[in-house]
Amino acid sequence: MKFFKILVLTLLIVSCAPIRVNYDFDKSTDFSKYKTYNYYADMKTGLSDLDTKRFLDALDTKMKAKGFSLAEKPDFFIDIKSSEFQSAQRNTVGVGLGGGGRNVGGGVSIGIPVGQAGVNRQITIDFVDENGKGLFWQAVSESSYTPNASPENREARLNAIIDKVLVNYPPKQ
């Protein structure tokens, strides 16, 4: 029962904040020739070491489910980069003057921020064919990020990002 409550709470938290993903790919690419992959050895993900491990584990699981395998001499390499940024607060100041008939009125409106600006994370995943094609597929995800989230919530969020990123890979041509 406790596991069920944690699962529901995690899904609720993950589903409240949308994950936006933009894709781009080379239209002339024959995606059927790519079966094996690996990561760049000098990849700097921009994630913490533990989040990098969670992210790569989730990516490996999803890639394996799609029929790809990790290899020493792969068909393509994966590069991952991320950055964090604060979303802009929507503060407003407005001045109004109005009238009707014999009455004249005026007013001032000031938007007061409630809470603090949200932190977002952008993760870019590049698929690169080192044997001629170069970059042939890219996904850029953007979602909210809670720096002090529990390890379970971080893992659930990273899994949700991977699921959303790879839902359209390989692309339908």
Look up residue 113 and give its two tokens: 């921020």
Does residue 14 register a pLDDT over 50? Answer: no
Eight-class DSSP state of 51: H
Q: What is the pLDDT of residues 19-55, one digit of tens each?
A: 899 999 999 999 999 999 999 988 899 988 999 999 9
Q: For all residues of the chain together, what is the average pLDDT?
A: 82
Eight-class DSSP state of 77: E
Look up residue 90 and give its two tokens: 């929507």
Angle at 60 between CA 141 and CA 40, to 5 degrees: 75
The one-letter code for the residue type at 83 is S
CATH number of 2-166: 3.30.160
Residue in this structure with the two tokens 């584990």, named with its chain if needed: 57
H or E segment to which residue 97 belongs: strand 93-100
Q: What is the pLDDT of residues 99-158, one digit of tens each?
A: 555 666 665 556 555 555 678 889 999 999 988 889 999 999 998 888 888 999 999 999
